[in-house]
């Protein structure tokens, strides 16, 4: 995995939560995507990706999140994102419509309540 991003995971019942610190861009998007997909099991009802410590997401990262949301939906699972309100990442998600396609939440607790 590129040192641009650090990924930590934990479980809340049947929901894996991934905290991503750093950047998601074309140089590491495949590694990040593989790691996110590997964390989800058939028993998972959802995947929460906490992006509050993420400093940058380029178009490759946004495409990854769209694709991951679709992939999970095809298995009757949900993707939820934790994004700090008013952050540059939240604005980018709004501009691209990602926040309309995938549930975004200001806190982990809000995301857990939603899934």
Q: CA-to-CA distance for 72 and 105, rounded, in angstroms?
A: 18
Do β-strands 15-24 and 54-57 pair in parallel, antiparallel, or remain unpaired? Answer: parallel
Task: Identify the structural domains of the chain with CATH numbers, from first to last.
Answer: 5-114 (3.30.750.24)
- Both structure tokens of 42: 């058939």
What pTM did the predictor assign? 0.94
Band of residue 1 on the pLDDT scale cut at 50, 70, 90: very low
pLDDT digits (tens, 9 = 90+) for 18-62: 999 999 999 999 999 999 999 999 889 999 999 999 999 999 999
């Amino acid at each position: 995995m590129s040192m641009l991003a650090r990924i930590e995971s934990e479980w809340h019942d049947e929901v894996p939560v991934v905290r991503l610190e750093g950047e998601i861009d074309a140089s590491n998007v495949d590694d990040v995507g593989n790691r996110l997909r590997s964390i989800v099991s058939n028993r998972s009802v959802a995947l929460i990706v906490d992006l509050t410590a993420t400093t940058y997401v380029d178009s490759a990262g946004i495409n990854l999140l769209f694709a991951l949301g679709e992939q999970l939906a095809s298995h009757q699972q949900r993707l939820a994102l934790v994004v700090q309100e008013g952050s540059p990442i939240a604005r980018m998600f709004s501009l691209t419509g990602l926040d309309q396609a995938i549930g975004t939440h200001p806190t982990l607790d809000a995301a857990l309540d939603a899934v």
